[in-house]
Amino acid sequence: MNETIRFPAEFEPHHGTLLIWPERPGSWGKDPRAAEKAFLDIIEELLRLEKVYLLVNPASIAPVMEKILARLQLDKPPANFQMIGMETDDSWARDTGPTFVYRGVKRLGVKWSFNAWGGEVDGLYASWEKDDKVAVGFTAFLGDTLLDARPFVLEGGSIHTDGEGTLLVTESCLLSAGRNPQLSKEQIEDKLKEYLGVEKILWLPRGIYQDETNEHVDNMCAFVRPGEVVLAWTDKKEDPQYELSRLDYEYLQKVTDARGRRLTIHKLPIPDHPVCVSKEDPENFVFEPGEDEREAGERLAASYVNFYFANGAVLLPQFGGENAESDARAVRILKELCPDRRIVPIYARHILLGGGNIHCITQQIPL
């Protein structure tokens, strides 16, 4: 393991969290109020726990600040909230923001190349130039050193660490044709080890069914502590997710982490009922040319694994309606696995409708 660089786990103490305000009509709708409410729910919870940095397109700063203050019932922003004017294409802070690592005791922001999850091969929108500048801009704002990994293409949602040298990824994502097709699997491993200081990379075969990011690992499997993971699961053999989860489960049973430990695997069932685009949902979207579109009846990549560790809490997606029992089950499982943290259920269907979930719109900033 490269001793000079360490990629800290998300469950380690945070300085704060980065988010980006939702505005893109193709993700959040021409009427984005439902998505905004979900973001505000998350921001309000995070402000109880740590500092929040919110990127906002400069023209929207005043109205967004008004919404924040109204939600918090304050006349001025709290000391641990900072709004930053920065142009972006969308709101996926996990994927466009920097990945933070330590070199010794110094914090660095890793800048990966971002190409909208596949570039010209299978990217989700045609223009991503603003998003590709977020990591550099935010790292500079913090005054941290930039560790430039370009032209290597990667998103923060495609990696997950135990903080002790082990990295989870999926083959379906990192080996996809739209990212680094010029590199072999071994060369990709070398890049990850170089910039993240990890020693061992665990290559899960697949991710969540219908995950348009080529199946990011953060929707499928996550460390809850070193040596223990949660894995998205279903017992329904007729569900297309069953085979994907089975492949990952069998793989994880066979491997060891960077410290030589066998992994304890906790199954975290997906919603019992598929979460789908309603007949009314597409009427709200305004798509740009080349942008991936939503269709009524389309199954969304709903998973409870897309939770976020904050200081002392877990922000857990909830989908409501016919999945009320599934939601409650996920809360119970996370309470058992994280007894020292408060489990915060967040109704997140409208984040999922945008293409991701709570983990996808947040990026932790370690101390």
Residue 113 neighbours by CB under 8 Å, 6+ apart: 132, 149, 150, 151, 152, 153, 154
Q: Name which of 306, 310, 315 is nearest 344 in CA terms.
A: 315
Is 360 among the residues known to form the active site?
yes
Q: What's the 3-state SS for 320-344?
A: CHHHHHHHHHHHHHHHHHCCCCEEE
The per-residue DSSP string of 186-197 comes to HHHHHHHHHHH-
- In the chain, where do the E strands start and end? 5-6, 14-20, 51-56, 81-85, 99-103, 106-113, 145-153, 160-161, 166-170, 200-204, 221-225, 228-233, 264-269, 308-310, 313-318, 342-347, 363-366
Name the catalytic one among 173, 221, 338, 360. 360
What span, in angstroms and rounded, lies between the C-alpha atoms of 359 and 176?
22
Q: Report the SS3 class of residue 311.
A: coil
DSSP letters of 274-299?
Answer: --B--SSGGGG--PPTT-----TTPB
Residues forming the active site: 360
